[in-house]
Chain A
Amino acid sequence: MRTVLFSASAALVLAIAVHAQPPSSPQPPAAAPAGDADKGKTLFVKNGCYQCHNYEGHGGAAGARIAPNPPPFRGFVNYVRAPRGDMPPYTVKVMSEQDLADVYAYLRGRPRPRDVSSLPLLAR
């Protein structure tokens, strides 16, 4: 692992607004098409999404948290196609609309986090 981090701007990757979402039950976006979560997992890894967002989509030093509550599907797709920050753009040639729907299903299927108060290691 390289110790150099992307700049702060690089951290403004996908779905910045997701940070503000509480870990309550997800609201299924109205326009989200059907997706195959298993295929989505494969695509998430194959296309390198995990590199910034980690394998569970929980975010990290280089990418925002995008699971288990991704932003509404249309905004998700728009951002992936034309990111405003440092995230590399994914064209249709690389990931089709259906591919993104599969990834979306995978992200929405990630486990809910445990209640922080139940984790002694995270106590103040």
Chain B
Amino acid sequence: MNRRGFLKRASLAGAAAIATPAAAAEPQAPAARAAAPGTPIMSAAAESATPPEADVLTVDRTGSDFMVDVLKSIGLDYICANPGSSFRGIHESVINYGGNQHPELITCCHEESSVAMGHGYAKVEGKPFGVFAHGTVGLQHAAMAIYNAWCDRVPVYVMLGNQLDATLRRPGAEWSHSVQDAAAMVRDFSKWDDTPMSLPHFAESAVRAYKIAMTPPMAPVVLVLNAELQEAPLGADARLAIPKLTIPSPPEGDSRAVAEAARLLVAAEHPVIVADRVARTPAAMAHLIELAETLQAGVITQGGRMNFPTRHPLNLSQARAIADADLVLALEVSDLWGVLNTFRDQLHRSTRALTRPGTKVISITTGDLYVKANYQDFQRFADVDLAIAADAEATLPALVEAVRRATTGDRKRVFESRGAKIAEASRAALDRARLEASYAWDASPVSTARLCAELWGQIRNEEWALVNGTAGWAQRLWNFEKPYQWIGGSGGAGVGYGAPAAVGAALAHKSHGRLAVNIQADGDLMYAPGVLWTAAHHRIPLLSVMHNNRAYHQELMHVQKMCNRHSRGIDRGRIGSELVDPFIDYAKVAQGLGLHAEGPITDPNEVGPAIARAMASVKRGEPALVDVVCQPR
């Protein structure tokens, strides 16, 4: 019997059949078929009815079991989900048939948390995990987090439940939860989607989706899992194959273009390397160090990934070196125009080039390989002299070799002299940061520099990784030197990314025994604070220290700018942006969700001891939170 017949007969048979062993199947009695609504489950009629002939109510294997086989084959270790009936079939298959291991189901309180956790996880682990969501209400919750992952070029593997066949939908909510084309809503900001119509189709599309998601430029993918396909019995004689997964090698720059880039770099007097989303793997940092040291060129890191050690002598991120450059090498820079120009946001908007006339620009980015039209995350068009459409990390080794081949003895001496000057500028930038951090050291609310210094004092001897936060002061004061110590930001600036991405990244760091540290913004946490419960429930160790400025502060500044522009009501600029009256007690919120938590702390001298106590909980394998009331920025 196919599933359609199975469901039809089950509904007609009503409750009478529930207690009927399938093995004792006999022709179904008309009385049972006609059971009126409201008939007691064990009515006399039902008890006396002859069991239906073929009304099979249990089955050993279903389509979703095979789906789990496929998900195991591609290596999904976790699936985050807020439960939903449209994927109940595969939910049950994961936890029972699959043994709830590889993938393990992670209980989430919001689909946005599920996806953002996957976003943070992928940037640490280098591969996606899965997300289950309703194709309608779940995806609508998840959409912003998918957009962030899209903008950040991070793979997330989203699977949506849906019931395509209208005649099989349960009355009521299942109709509200069904959709003709579930993935349409996020098609503009996902890389690929499909709605498989058979299990072989699912297997091919599941493997294809993973392959596409993991090929640079990486991005979220979406599979729609029809409920019928999940729940249909799988015959014992079913012959289903799982296609072989082979991840394509990332695109490397054309050899002639790479040689030309090397020639320009070697000839330049003041080359500057700007690195944004370069590091896909831990190997990238070593390649970039090699390039910078070979050229003795300064490196500006945009913060999109952990590309370059913060205290490397060639790190010029704090020295605003772009103005001195005669050549800029832009590696996976998401907003190259913004690197090369400044934009004045006044009544009459104006722009100014930050580079001097004649500065040449080389770009290496997968952004030139793939772009969509509707959402404008591709940023303003930048003038480039040599554009290499390729993955920067994959291209770096060839570029280093090409630079070595092109370097003469004379140029090497120039490089050494240049490197000494850059090292001095880098040292001066660190000294300047230490001096600036000393201002307002004893202030209350606590300065953001003091917050970061206190946190650094507690973690510096641990195997730490900063998984979220406004990394400004951390990157100025901390010694980031290992590839896993920073993962970048949200990508799309969709607020609400921070807390769940931190939990997802901490889940990845857990298996490596690292201390995951989160500088948590207050407004961000309020989007979906339930993710703290997820961390507590699944014993995900994460140290969260709050930068609590009691406002959506960026927006507050924008509103004030409008108040100033109109010379009216500047004192009312806070309306609509502040999180006051009442103040939110984040420690109590976190405690209620199962965390060790302290705060609100306003005395800077209490910050360090509170972090130390929280770290003790984290070292026991639990999440903890310290709420610190801070200066605005």
Chain A interfacial positions (CB closer than 8 Å to B): 1-10, 19, 23, 46-48, 50-52, 54-56, 58-63, 65, 67, 85-86, 88-91, 93-94, 110-111, 113-116, 119-122, 124
Contacts and interface: CB of A to CB of B under 8 A. Distances in A.
B621 interface: no
Interface residues of B, number: 62
A86 B524 contact: no
Interface stretch (B22-30, B185-193, B488-496): B488-496
Contacts of B461: none
A107 to B, nearest CB: 12
A3 B470 contact: yes
Interface in B610-633: 631-633
Contacts of A7: 338, 342-343, 345
B453 interface: yes
Contacts of A59: 436, 439
Given A1-B524, A3-B495, A65-B436, A54 B553 contact: no
A94 B565 CA distance: 11
A62 B241 CA distance: 57
A39 to B, nearest CB: 14
Contacts of B344: 9, 85-86
Contact of A3 (B342, B445, B454, B524): B524
Contact of A46 (B439, B490, B554, B571): B571
Interface string B531-574: 00000000000000001110111111100110111010011011
Contact of B560 (A5, A88, A93): A88
Contacts of A120: 457
A99 B447 CA distance: 26
Contacts of A115: 438
Most B CB atoms within 10 A — which of A51, A94, A124?
A51
B435 interface: yes
Contacts of B556: 48, 51
Contact of A60 (B435, B453, B552, B633): B633
Nearest to A55: B631
B438 A94 contact: no
Nearest to B553: A1
A34 to B, nearest CB: 24
Given A94-B570, A116-B434, A63 B560 contact: no
Interface in B422-450: 430, 432, 434-443, 445, 447-448
22 contacts: A1-B470, A1-B553, A2-B555, A19-B432, A23-B435, A23-B438, A48-B557, A48-B573, A48-B574, A50-B631, A51-B553, A51-B632, A52-B633, A54-B447, A54-B631, A55-B443, A58-B447, A110-B440, A113-B440, A119-B453, A122-B477, A124-B434
B304 interface: no
A47 B560 CA distance: 9
A7 B558 CA distance: 13
Given A9-B342, A86-B345, A122-B477, A1 B523 contact: yes
Interface string B57-98: 000000000000000000000000000000000000000000
Contacts of A4: 493, 554
Interface of B: 320, 338, 342-346, 430, 432, 434-443, 445, 447-448, 453-454, 456-457, 470, 472, 477, 489-490, 493, 495, 497-498, 521-524, 547-549, 551-557, 560-561, 563-565, 567, 570-571, 573-574, 631-633
Given A61-B633, A94-B567, A122 B453 contact: yes
Nearest to A56: B440
Contact of A47 (B338, B547, B571): B571
Given A1-B548, A1-B549, A116-B438, 6 more contacts: A5-B554, A23-B438, A56-B439, A56-B443, A114-B442, A122-B438
A9 B570 CA distance: 22
B606 to A, nearest CB: 14
B346 A1 contact: no
A119 B342 contact: no
A48 to B, nearest CB: 4
A46 B454 contact: no
A121 B346 contact: no
A2 B558 CA distance: 11
Query: A-B pairs with the 9 shortest C-beta distances?
Result: A2-B554, A88-B564, A60-B633, A9-B342, A58-B439, A58-B440, A56-B440, A1-B521, A113-B438
Contacts of A93: 567
B605 to A, nearest CB: 11
B41 to A, nearest CB: 54
Given A59-B436, A59-B439, A1 B570 contact: no
A2 B555 CA distance: 7
A71 to B, nearest CB: 16
Contacts of A6: 554, 557
A91 B434 contact: no
A77 to B, nearest CB: 15
A91 B617 CA distance: 52
A90 to B, nearest CB: 6
A111 B442 contact: yes
A85 B338 CA distance: 16
Given A2-B521, A10-B345, A122-B453, A60 B489 contact: no
A64 B188 CA distance: 39
Most A CB atoms within 10 A — which of B432, B441, B551?
B441
Most B CB atoms within 10 A — which of A3, A47, A90, A93?
A3
Contacts of A94: 564, 567, 570
Contacts of A85: 344
B543 to A, nearest CB: 17
A50 B345 contact: no
